[in-house]
Structure 1
């Protein structure tokens, strides 16, 4: 069970963002986020968006830094990836 974080490379709201995921369970991800002060509003179906300034702190807390490609590969392999289609379906609920 591992919580993974990719480099802050995603621009939004005037800053760069990382993605935080679990390769084991959404519960593990929520527990890690809560323990590290990440607000629930940062959760987006299969990951948390976290600002660049939190990156080093989350690694120090135990998140494993991986490339964006590796993060997606491991999220898919875990079966926890939410696809674009699932996102659209969820948006219509």
Structure 2
């Protein structure tokens, strides 16, 4: 099992943001807690269960063991991670 953080760094509200995803929701929430991200920031969406993280939090997540994934290099892996995140959506 693993936690992932992508390189989709989007500008929003003066910051650059990426997505923190995981193979399981418990892993995802545990990493978010380690990063100090409140549970209310969890995005349970049909597009995929995730947390948005700033570039600083992305670097900290990687330092804590999250796997960096690239939408440009690891396309098939990213698609699989996103599919797993989507499957965890609970309306």
Query: TM tier, shorter chain?
Result: 0.7 to 0.9
Q: Which has the higher helix share?
A: 1
Residue 73 of structure 1 corresponds to 80
Given that 1:8 and 1:16 are in contact with CA atoms closer than 8 Å, whether structure 2 keeps it comes out as no
Deviation, 1:64, is: 0.3
The two structures, once aligned, show a CA RMSD in angstroms of 2.2
Query: Which structure 1 residue ranges, 4+ long, deviate > 4 Å from structure 2?
Result: none
Which structure: larger Rg?
A: 1
Query: Out of 58, 62, 80, which is 2:61 matched to?
Result: 58
What's the TM-score, normalizing by structure 2?
A: 0.75
In the comparison of the two structures, how many residue pairs are matched? Answer: 82
Unpaired runs of at least 5, structure 1: none
Deviation, 1:35, is: 2.0
Question: Following the alignment from structure 2 to structure 1, what is the Cα–Cα distance between the partners of residues 11 and 51?
Answer: 15
Unpaired runs of at least 5, structure 2: none
What's the TM-score, normalizing by structure 1?
A: 0.73
Give matches, 1:1-93, under 5 Å: 1-23=1-23, 25-45=24-44, 46-68=49-71, 69=75, 70-76=77-83, 78=84, 80-81=85-86
Given that 2:7 and 2:70 are in contact with CA atoms closer than 8 Å, whether structure 1 keeps it comes out as yes
